[in-house]
Amino acid sequence: MTFPELKAGLNELSQKIARAIECLHIPEKQEEIQKLRIKTEDPRFWNDQENARTVSQKLSLLEKIVERWKDLSGNAEALKEMGEMLTEDSEELAEMAEEYEKLNAKYMKAELDLLFSGDFDDSDAIIEINAGAGGTEAQDWAEMLLRMYLRFAERHEFKTEMLEKTEGSEAGVKSVMIEVAGERAFGLLRGEKGTHRLVRQSPFNAKNLRQTSFAGVIVTPIIKNADNEIQIEEKDIRIDTFRASGAGGQHINKTDSAVRITHIPSKIVVECQNQRSQHQNKEKAMEVLRAKLLVKQREEEEKKAAEIRGEVTEAAWGTQIRNYVLHPYKMVKDLRTDFESGNPDTVLDGELDDFIRAYLEWDAGRKNEGI
What pLDDT shows up at residue 298?
A: 86
Total-model pTM:
0.83
Give the number of other CB atoms < 10 A from CB of residue 175: 18
Q: Are 128 and 195 in contact (CB under 8 A)?
A: no
- In angstroms, rounded to a whole number, what is the distance separating the alpha carbons of residues 318 and 194? 6
Burial of 96 (0-12, 13-18, 19+ CB in 10 A): buried
Run of H or E residues at 142? helix 136-155
Phi-psi region of 77 (alpha: psi -120 to 50; beta: other; left: phi over 0): alpha
What pLDDT shows up at residue 250?
A: 42
Sign of CA dihedral 187, 191, 196, 201: negative
Give the number of other CB atoms < 10 A from CB of residue 184: 21
Q: What is the pLDDT along the chain (371 residues), one digit of tens a residue?
A: 788 899 999 999 999 999 999 999 999 999 999 999 999 999 999 998 888 988 998 999 999 999 999 999 999 999 999 988 888 888 889 999 999 999 999 999 999 999 997 889 999 999 999 999 888 999 999 999 999 999 999 999 999 999 999 999 889 999 999 999 999 999 999 999 999 999 999 888 777 788 999 999 999 999 876 666 788 999 999 999 988 765 444 444 456 789 999 999 999 999 999 877 899 999 999 999 999 999 898 888 877 766 664 544 443 334 699 999 999 999 999 999 999 999 999 999 999 999 999 999 999 887 666 54
Collapse the DSSP code of 212 into the 3-class scheme (helix H, G, I; strand E, B; otherwise coil) and give the result. strand
- In angstroms, rounded to a whole number, what is the distance separating the alpha carbons of residues 242 and 259? 6
Task: Give the residue among 219, 226, 234, 230 at the shortest CA–CA distance from 264.
Answer: 234
User: What are the chain's domains?
Assistant: 3-115 (1.20.58.410)
